[in-house]
Structure 1
Amino acid sequence: MKQVGTHLVVDAWEASEDLLNDPEAIRRAMLEAISAGDATLIDLCVHQFSPHGVTATATLAESHIAIHTWPEHGYFAADLFFCGRGKPERAMEVLQTALKAKKVRTRDITRGFEEAADSTNRVREPFYQTLV
């Protein structure tokens, strides 16, 4: 496979309920993560849900970072996809620290394309086999 990017799929628990429900705290955490990941911000959208929860998406020159929070459970899910340069692992460490998550599970997926496809021009691989 010719690697074109790294995709981190993250679950985080035991995070600060107050921070997870604060759109400005999420905005700051995202900006810090983008900087730490050596990424280039194109656009950042942060939305507060009622009665609780925040979703934020950052469009990057390198691809994207998205985070979705469930403050009532101390949980957030994040998705960091970096093509080419950048440090998605470092960006994720910053999110974990900023939101005070005590437990994190990260799945690292190598993204790219096959250099030689089979006769169907399709490559199918069960998702669970791509998990690290």
Structure 2
Amino acid sequence: MLDSTFAPQHVNGTEYNAETAQNWPEYVNQRDNQLADDHFVTRNGKTFAGTHIIIDLWGAERLDDLELMEATLRKAVEVCGATLLHIHLHHFTPNGGISGVAVLAESHISVHTWPERGFAAFDVFMCGGARPELSIDIFNEAFSPKQTLVNELLRGEVKDD
């Protein structure tokens, strides 16, 4: 029989491991032993966790080029002022589509491509001082879409009680 300490708990439809939830570490800046900054952003009178840019490219080219995709993600990370931790890309066959993620200290950039339709979906979510909107021009330059659609979400917006 499993110890109930480790049994998952459900709260509002979300499953939590009880042991993990009870032992969340306190995040501390190791240099000066201060609680770490949460990197929330305040802009135009709103405070939020980060900006999530959703980018759809239509009529795009070279969406099956794995080397170009990696180079483009690296350039976007740099231009946005983010910190790259890891890139993982998967190349599908037979159509050559790519799915992947650049994991950032500030969050992530994910991509899914459908070369047979000339479509690419990028999600760029960043917190702190990073500027995810700067990735739009990088993706347009690399993949030459006929149409680019962009939506912006402010994630984790702090609401006044």
TM-score clears 0.5:
yes
Quote the Cα distance in structure 2 between the aligned partners of 1:96 and 1:56.
18
Tell me the C-alpha RMSD between the 2 structures. 1.3
Q: Tell me if 1:78 matches 2:122.
A: yes
Match of 1:15 in 2: 60
Equivalent position of 2:98 in the other structure: 54
How far is the alpha carbon of 1:111 from its aligned partner? 1.4
Structure with higher RCO (Cα < 8 A, 6+ apart):
1
Deviation of 1:114 (Å): 2.9
Structure index of larger Rg: 2
Aligned to 2:86: 43
Consecutive unaligned residues of structure 1, counting only runs of 5 or more, are: 118-132
Tell me the secondary structure at the aligned position of residue 93 of structure 2: coil
Q: TM-score, normalised by structure 2?
A: 0.68
Corresponding position: 1:112 with 2:112:
no
Q: Which runs of 5+ in 2 are unaligned?
A: 1-45
Residue number in structure 2 paired with 1:123: none
Q: CA deviation at 1:34?
A: 0.8
**Residues 1:34 and 2:77 aligned together:** yes
TM-score relative to the length of structure 1: 0.82
Percent identity between matched residues is 36
Letter in 2 for 1:80: V
User: Does the residue aligned with 1:20 lie in a helix, a strand or coil?
Assistant: coil
How many pairs does the alignment contain?
Answer: 115
36, 39, 48: which one pairs with 1:3?
48
Check the 8 A contact 1:11/1:106 in 2, yes or no: yes
Q: What is the alpha-carbon distance in structure 1 between the residues aligned to residue 151 and residue 77 of structure 2?
A: 19
Q: SS of the residue aligned with 1:45?
A: strand
Matched-pair contact (CA < 8 Å) for 1:29–1:99: no
